[in-house]
Chain A
Amino acid sequence: MADTRLGHTKERFIVGIYDHEDKVVNAVKKLKNDGVKIYEVYSPHPIHHIDTYIGHPRTRIPIAAFLFGALGTLSAITLIIYTMGIDWPMIIGGKNFVAIPTMVPVTFELTVLISALGMVATFLVSNNMGPGKKEFMFDRRTTDDKYALVVDLDANTLGEEQIRDLMVKYGAETDPLPRIVER
Chain B
Amino acid sequence: MAAEHTVTIDVNEKYTLTATMQRKIWLWLAVGLILFIAGAFWFVTGFGSEAAHGAGHAAAHGGGGGEHFNPMARVWANLWLNSVFFVGIAVAGVFFLATQYAAKAGWSAIIKRVPEAFGGFLPVGGVIMLVVYFLGHHDLFHWTHTGLYEKGGPEFDAIINGKAPFFYWPLSPEGGFPFFWLLRLVLYFALWFLVYTVIRKASLAEDQLQNRLDFRYYDKQVVWSIVFIVIFAVTSSTSAWDWLLSIDTHWFSTMFGWYVFASWFVSALATITLAVVYLKEQGYLKAVNENHLHDLGKFMFAFSIFWTYVWFCQFLLIYYANIPEETFYFKERLHGLGGVYSPVMIILALINFAFPFLFLMPRDSKRHPIFLKITAFAILVGHYLDFYLMVMPGTAKQYGGFGLMEIGAIILFASLFVWLFYRTLSKAPLIAKNHPMLEESLHHSI
Contacts and interface: CB of A to CB of B under 8 A. Distances in A.
Same complex: yes
A119 B312 CA distance: 27
Interface in B419-446: 445
Contacts of B320: 93, 95, 102
B59 interface: no
B316 A62 contact: no
Contact of A101 (B1, B3, B4, B315): B315
B319 A101 contact: yes
Interface of A: 48-49, 52, 62, 66, 93-95, 101-102, 104-105
Contacts of B315: 101
A66 B316 CA distance: 26
Given A48-B3, A62-B363, A66-B361, A104 B312 contact: yes
A101 B321 CA distance: 13
Given A66-B361, A101-B316, A94 B322 contact: yes
Contact of A62 (B321, B362, B445): B362
B358 to A, nearest CB: 10
Contacts of B361: 62, 66
Contacts of B319: 95, 101-102
Contacts of B3: 48-49
B304 to A, nearest CB: 14
A64 to B, nearest CB: 13
B181 to A, nearest CB: 34
A93 B322 contact: yes
Interface of B: 1, 3-4, 312, 315-316, 319-322, 361-363, 445
A101 B319 CA distance: 8
A180 to B, nearest CB: 32
Given A104-B312, A104-B316, A49 B322 contact: no
A152 to B, nearest CB: 24
B35 to A, nearest CB: 38
A104 B320 CA distance: 12
Contacts of A62: 361-363
Nearest to A29: B4
Nearest 8 A/B pairs, CB to CB: A49-B1, A48-B445, A101-B319, A93-B322, A93-B320, A52-B1, A101-B316, A48-B3
Contacts of A101: 312, 315-316, 319
17 contacts: A49-B1, A49-B4, A49-B445, A52-B1, A62-B361, A62-B362, A66-B361, A94-B322, A95-B320, A101-B312, A101-B315, A101-B316, A101-B319, A102-B316, A102-B320, A104-B312, A104-B316
A40 B345 CA distance: 52
A104 B317 CA distance: 12
A101 B345 CA distance: 13
Contacts of A49: 1, 3-4, 445
A109 to B, nearest CB: 12
B419 to A, nearest CB: 40
